[in-house]
Structure 1
Amino acid sequence: MTAQRSALEGGRWHFNHGPIDIVAEAHGDAVEVAVAHEHAWRRFATVLDELVAELPLLRQPVRDACPLRSPIARRMWQACAPFRASFITPMAAVAGAVAQELIACYQRSGIERAWINNGGDIALHLAPGQSARVGLFADLARFDLRERGPLTTDGQFELRAEMPVRGVATSGWRGRSFSLGIADSVTVLAATAAEADAAATVIANAVDVQDPGIHRRPANECKDDSDLGDIPVTVDVEALAPAQVQRALAAGVARAETLRRAGAIAGAMLVCQGQWRLVEPLSSASSGVSALPMQPQAAAVGSVFA
C-alpha cells in the first residue's frame, strides 16, 4: 500500500494513503501554489508510516507526560491533554493533526488562501485580508454519494484572516469515528485543526441523555482494534421526544460554553434530530465569525467554498 495522488477540478489535489483521504486546495501565485502542493504531497507520503510506528501509544489514554516522538503524534497528544481528566486517547485528534501538519506547507509567501480537508476536519491558511467560507451539512444520514451536482449545504459561515481560527472539525455518532453521545454533528471552530478535532469529540460525547431509544455497544465489538476498548458507543438513536433532545443539547452546550470561556474553542454548532444550538464567540463582532443567512441547523461536513 503506497500513497497516491490525483488532480481534481479547480486545481485541487486528492491525496490518499490507507484510511487517510485529503483534499488540498490553494490560491495565489501559480508557481508558489505548485511548489506548496508538491511539498504537501511529499510530507503526506510519510504520514501514515509515522503514525503506525507509534500506534500502540496513540491508542493509550492521555496521561501527564507525553511519550510520543513524531510531530503529528505529539500534536495529537497536546490537543487532547486538556481533557485527560476523562478518558481520551490522542486518536481523538488524529484527522485534525494530520491536516494541520500539511497546511504548514502552504504558509509561505505568495499563497493567499489554502485549506486541507481531511474527511471534514479542516486546517486553513489565510493571508492578511483573505477569507474562506465553510459549508455546513447537518446530518450525514441524508448524504447520498449517488446524487450528482453540487452538494446542497444547510448553511455556511465565513472565516476571515483577522479571527484567531485556523481549524474546523466535526464529530457525532453518525461520523466515521465512534461517539459516546447522540449528536448528529458538532462542529467546532478553534485556533488549530487538532484542537478543533479534540474539542468536537469531547462536546459531541457530552450531547447525551438517558433514553431507551438510544442504543450502544462496546466499541471493541464494533471494531476490534478500537482505542475505546469496551466503552459503550452509540450505534443507533431512535426518534426521541423533543424535550429529550433539548436536554441532550443543553448538556453539550454547557460543555462547549466551558471550553469557550477557557479559550479552548472560538465557537460551536450542535445538531441533534432537527434541533440546533449555536455557541457563539465571546465577541462575534471582533472574531470575524459570520453565519450566513441560510438555515442554521447545520454542522460542517467539511466543504470549503471560495
Structure 2
Amino acid sequence: MTIRYHFELRETIATILADNEEVIQAASMGMRTARSELERYLVRDPFFGTSYEPVQVPDHPIIARRMAQAAEKAGVGPMAAVAGAVAEHGVAAAQKSGASFCVIDNGGDIALITDRPVRIGIYAGESPLSGKYAFVIRPTDEIYGICTSSATVGHSFSFGTADSVTVFSSDPILADAVATAVCNVLTISDKSCLDELDTEIDGVYAIFNDTSIIWGEVPPLVRAEKRDDLITTGGLGFFTRES
C-alpha cells in the first residue's frame, strides 16, 4: 500500500509518496540533511539567500554549488532552486536506500523515481484549466523533475503573470530555477524566452487563465479529477498513483 506522508521543516512543506516507512524515513532524512547543509552555508554567505541574480559559489556544500550552477544557467538567484534541490536530495536518499518508487512534492516542485506510471495533476489557482488535467509520467529509475512556478499562486515572488509554468527535466534543481525564470518573463504574446532554454530542459507547459502554451516535449496529458486533498500546502502540483 502506498504511503502519503506530510513533511514539514521550517519553510519546507512537502508530501512524500512511497511504498513503506523505511523509504519515507530515508527521504525525510535526505531533505533534513540538505536543509541543514544549506542553512549552515547561508550563515557564512547570507547574500546567497537574498540575491535575485546568479552568484558564484567557489566551494561547498554540494547543494549550494548545484543551486548556484542551475541559477547561472537560468539567470535567476540561487534560492529559486531551493525547493527542487531539497526534493531531489530526498529522492536521492530514498534511492540510495534501495527504493524504486518515491515521489516528493515540495510545494509544487516535484522530484521522483518511479517503477509505475504516476499522474501529476496541474493546479493553477483560479485558472479554468486548474485541476482538470494531469501529466502521465512513465516509469524511470533516474531521478526526474517536474517543477512549477506561478505569479498568481503561493508566496514565492515572481515578476510575471502566468498562473503556472511547469518545467520538465532530468535535473530537478535546474527545472526549479528555469520555472522561476520563465514565469518571470513569459507572456502569451512573447515566447522568445523559450528559445533560449538550456538543452537539459525537456519541455515547458504554461497556463495563462484559459490558455496554455506548450514548448518542447512534455508528458502525455489526460483528464483528471481535481483532488484538493492531494495538493501540498502552498504548492502548485498534486499527484496520484495511476490505477
**2:238 maps to what in 1?**
303
CA displacement at 1:77 relative to structure 2: 1.0
**Counterpart secondary structure, 1:256:** helix
Flag structure 2 segments of 5+ consecutive residues without an equivalent. 226-234
Contact 1:54–1:68 (8 Å) recurs in 2: no
CA displacement at 1:270 relative to structure 2: 1.1
**1:66 maps to what in 2?**
57
Q: Does 1:50 align with 2:28?
A: no
Distance 1:120 1:20 in 2: 11
**2:230 maps to what in 1?**
none
Distance 2:123 2:162 in 1: 13
* Residues 205 and 163 of structure 1: CA distance in aligned 2, closer, same or farther (over 3 Å): farther
Q: Does 1:292 align with 2:222?
A: yes
* Residues 255 and 155 of structure 1: CA distance in aligned 2, closer, same or farther (over 3 Å): same
Q: 1:101 aligns with which of 89, 96, 103?
A: 89
CA displacement at 1:66 relative to structure 2: 2.2
Percentage of matched positions with identical amino acids? 31
Q: Which has the larger radius of gyration?
A: 1
Q: 1:168 aligns with which of 121, 146, 156?
A: 146
Q: Does 1:185 align with 2:123?
A: no
What TM-score, normalized to structure 2?
Answer: 0.81
CA displacement at 1:96 relative to structure 2: 0.5
**Counterpart secondary structure, 1:166:** strand
Amino acid at match of 1:291: L
Q: Does 1:255 align with 2:242?
A: no
Contact 1:164–1:190 (8 Å) recurs in 2: no
Q: CA-atom RMSD, angstroms?
A: 2.8
Pairing 1:18-97 to 2, within 5 Å after superposition = 18-27=10-19, 33-55=20-42, 56-58=46-48, 59-60=50-51, 61-63=53-55, 65-84=56-75, 88-97=76-85
CA displacement at 1:71 relative to structure 2: 2.3
Distance 2:59 2:159 in 1: 26
CA displacement at 1:79 relative to structure 2: 1.3
Distance 2:140 2:87 in 1: 21
Distance 1:164 1:45 in 2: 22
Q: How many residue pairs align between the two structures?
A: 225
CA displacement at 1:97 relative to structure 2: 0.6
Higher relative contact order (CA 8 A, sep 6+): 2
CA displacement at 1:52 relative to structure 2: 2.4
What TM-score, normalized to structure 1?
Answer: 0.66
Pairing 1:237-276 to 2, within 5 Å after superposition = 248-251=187-190, 253-259=191-197, 262-276=198-212
Contact 1:57–1:67 (8 Å) recurs in 2: no
Q: Does 1:197 align with 2:188?
A: no
Contact 2:57–2:64 (8 Å) recurs in 1: no
Amino acid at match of 1:301: L
**2:107 maps to what in 1?**
119
**1:237 maps to what in 2?**
none
* Residues 114 and 17 of structure 1: CA distance in aligned 2, closer, same or farther (over 3 Å): same
